[in-house]
Amino acid sequence: MTNDASALVTVDRPFAGCAVVTLNRPRAMNALSVALRRELVATFEALRSDADARVIVLTGAGNAFCAGLDLKELGAAAEPGAAVAPAADEDPMLAMLRLQAPVIGAINGPAITGGFELALACDLMIASTRASFADTHARVGVIPGWGLSQRLPRLIGPGRAKELSLTGNFLGAQQAEAWGLVNRVVEPDALLPAALKLASDMLSVLPEMLIAYKRLIDDGLRTGLAEGLELERERSRAWAADLRGADIEARRRQIAERGRAQGKPAS
């Protein structure tokens, strides 16, 4: 894990609690070569055990977020199937799923196929006006294996997901926002500041809640609504057993003060 400009993955620490992970193959549109995938997995694994990486921002160097698997490398591979369905040390999606920290995708440019899957694995996305998204699995002749066929319909609906996946057409940033794929769209120069502001806001909540609430949402989404509601009730009861009135009152005052500072009414 490094901020060496020559590394395939760089990690910067803009402030305490936040790590910015950058895919760093700009001349190849940050295409996911085997070497890059391995370095990305190692980076996520190191951050998973890093107490000062409580929020992660993921972005790409240069003009692209990520062009997906390196098709030149894949075309020359003796066993291309091994790259499409990689071992654990080459699978960044598995490494991302093991992270407790929320991951903010700062989508600075095209996110294509495997790069689209990498973006979808983030907890949320902020997009530059230069961002675009495309699923070209059907054109390359590969069935997705990193979650695109399941995550995309849950975000934008099955009809829109099929429109993208069965055509390979590109989706621009503004349309992605209208469809609910990304949280917001900002000008290129504002992208990283917006992502870092959101990371700072997340870091201002109770540290234990940042982990527990993200896990509750993710675990609930893996079930049906009834099961998710029961899961919430179970965890709420378990959490409530350790609550203290004095702590609640102190936090109420902090919330009221923050509301006043932001110019909003506080209860």
Note the Cα 195 to chain centre separation in Å.
Answer: 11
Closest-CA residue to 169 (of 108, 127, 106, 110): 110
Q: Are residues 144 and 234 in the same domain?
A: no
Q: Are residues 176 and 241 in the same domain?
A: no
Q: Are residues 199 and 228 in the same domain?
A: no
Tell me, yes or no, whether 162 lies in a domain: yes
> Is residue 265 scored above 60 in pLDDT?
no
Q: Are residues 139 and 235 in the same domain?
A: no
Q: Are residues 130 and 240 in the same domain?
A: no
Interval 246-260: pLDDT, tens: 767 777 777 777 777
Tell me, yes or no, whether 35 lies in a domain: yes
Domain that holds residue 174: 9-203
Q: Are residues 245 and 172 in the same domain?
A: no
Q: Are residues 154 and 84 in the same domain?
A: yes
Q: Are residues 107 and 145 in the same domain?
A: yes
Tell me, yes or no, whether 187 lies in a domain: yes
Per the structure, how many domains does the chain have? 2
Interval 47-97: pLDDT, tens: 999 999 999 999 999 999 999 988 777 666 556 666 566 677 788 999 999
- Parallel, antiparallel, or unpaired: how do β-strands 53-60 and 17-23 relate? parallel
C-alpha dist (Å) from residue 231 to 98, 221, 236: 20, 11, 8
Tell me, yes or no, whether 114 lies in a domain: yes
Dihedrals phi, psi of 222, to nearest 5 degrees? -85, 0
Q: Is the dihedral of CA 61, 112, 95, 28 positive or negative?
A: negative
pLDDT interval class at 7 (50, 70, 90): very high
173: its two tokens: 């940033």
65: its two tokens: 């977020």
Tell me, yes or no, whether 266 lies in a domain: no
- Name the average pLDDT for the chain: 91
Interval 205-233: pLDDT, tens: 999 999 999 999 999 999 999 999 999 99
Q: Where are the alpha helices (DSSP H) in 23-166?
A: 34-48, 71-76, 80-84, 92-97, 114-120, 137-140, 148-156, 158-165
- The CATH number covering residue 193 comes to 3.90.226.10
- What is the C-alpha to C-alpha distance for residues 136 and 165, in angstroms, rounded to an integer? 7
Biggest CA pair distance of the chain: 64
Q: Are residues 252 and 189 in the same domain?
A: no
Q: Are residues 38 and 103 in the same domain?
A: yes
Dihedrals phi, psi of 28, to nearest 5 degrees? -110, 20
Q: Are residues 88 and 189 in the same domain?
A: yes
What's the confidence (pLDDT) of residue 79? Answer: 61
Q: Count of residues for the chain?
A: 267
pLDDT interval class at 128 (50, 70, 90): very high
pLDDT interval class at 8 (50, 70, 90): very high
**DSSP 8-state assignment for residue 244:** -
Q: Are residues 133 and 232 in the same domain?
A: no
Tell me, yes or no, whether 195 lies in a domain: yes
